[in-house]
Amino acid sequence: MILDGKMVAQEERKKLCTLITSYQEMGLRAPKLAIVLVGHNPASETYVSNKMKACHEVGIEVDKLAFEEDITEQELLNVIHQLNTDSSVDGFIVQLPLPEHIRESMVLTEIDYRKDVDGLTPMSMGRSIQGLRAIPSATPAGIRTLLEYYHIQTAGKHVVVIGRSNIVGKPMAIMLMQRPYLSLPSMSASTLGDATVTVCHSKTDHLEAICRTADIIIVAAGCPGLVKANMVQPGATVIDVGINRIEDPSTPRGYRLVGDVDFEHVAPIAGAISPVPGGVGPMTIVSLLKNVVVVYGGKLLGAKVGEE
């Protein structure tokens, strides 16, 4: 079974569109996202334009705040502080990576977690770990939605997460090991969780053997072809979070995107597998949109993130 993130994301966008239209029929303003982009990293520019396109499609207003590579850390922090207090903006993200002279941790720490629709700030992550109301990290939340759509259960299962990044590996592991919980009112009720989670990374011994014991493998290592057929037990679910650009002069762009899984050889063995592109990527974007709508809706209902 191919886990078709492109199709599931489209379904989710339709739901969001209906919801936003109903708000507008009530005479309410549209939800609004701001995206901060520093420099001209080609991958980041592509991600940002995809996010903006998805916002337009569902009726979320979106502002792009683009800055040159040489913006200082302090100038960027001033932008964050303004966005934190701008009541016309429901949520905002800072596209990563940032230039080397800007400390990512400083920037993320300054984002008000109640507007952190990427779910990447230390407060969002800390609150999630403790089971408090928090905006979920976009990529793990997207994977959760994908698993739910295909009725893939995690309770009692052994999930191997490869990668320990703050953006995917760590929040994914936390989300899956937790008791199923309501992270936010109305939209993020989830039946997933209760998994036994092993987190592997670049220094893990016996990666192959550990993976072979997995019911579900989630790989976010940024390493093309890392997960091979001999690491996957028959019937296992394989979720590929990798997005790697491989030079390919035969394509119009001169490169193609591949994941962290040797798809050709793993697909015949796996019970379910997400492709790259068209798997996790579109789900991450739709999770971001959902997070914006949840923050916006929370304001309407008076149930705000951080209210407990």
> Which of the residues 4, 32, 51, 260 is marked catalytic?
51
Burial classification of residue 138, based on how many CB atoms lie within 10 Å of its CB (0-12 exposed, 13-18 middle, 19 or more buried): buried
Q: Binding marks (x or -) toward ligand GUN, 19..48, rule CB under 6 A?
A: ----------------------------x-
Q: Is there binding between residue 121 and ligand GUN (CB under 6 A)?
A: no
| List 4, 118, 215, 262, residue binding ligand GUN (CB under 6 A) | 118
Cβ neighbours of 88 (radius 10 Å):
9
**Angle, CA of 75, 109 and 303, to the nearest 5°:** 115
Tokens of 203: 């220094």
Nearer to ligand GUN, 37 or 195 (CB): 37
Q: Is there binding between residue 284 and ligand GUN (CB under 6 A)?
A: yes
Confirm whether 157 is a catalytic residue.
Answer: no
Q: Binding marks (x or -) toward ligand GUN, 217..256, rule CB under 6 A?
A: ----------------------------------------
Collapse the DSSP code of 301 into the 3-class scheme (helix H, G, I; strand E, B; otherwise coil) and give the result. helix
The span from the first CA to the last CA of the chain, in angstroms, equals 41
Cα 227 from Cα 1, distance rounded (Å): 18
Nearer to ligand GUN, 94 or 221 (CB): 94
Confirm whether 116 is a catalytic residue.
Answer: no
Nearer to ligand GUN, 51 or 133 (CB): 51
- Smallest distance, ligand GUN to C-beta of residue 284, A: 5
Q: Is there binding between residue 138 and ligand GUN (CB under 6 A)?
A: yes
Cα distances (angstroms) measured from residue 45 to each of 99, 154, 216, 223, 250: 14, 35, 32, 22, 23
Interface with ligand GUN: number of residues (CB under 6 A): 9
Contact between 229 and 174 (Cβ < 8 Å): no
Confirm whether 118 is a catalytic residue.
Answer: yes
Residue nearest to ligand GUN (CB): 96
Q: Is there binding between residue 96 and ligand GUN (CB under 6 A)?
A: yes
H helices within 26-137, ranges in order? 42-58, 73-85, 104-110, 122-129
Tokens of 133: 């109301």
Q: Is there binding between residue 95 and ligand GUN (CB under 6 A)?
A: yes
Residues 6+ away with beta carbon under 8 Å from 264? none
Which residues make up the interface to ligand GUN (CB under 6 A)? Answer: 47, 93-96, 118, 138-139, 284
Positions marked catalytic: 51, 95, 118
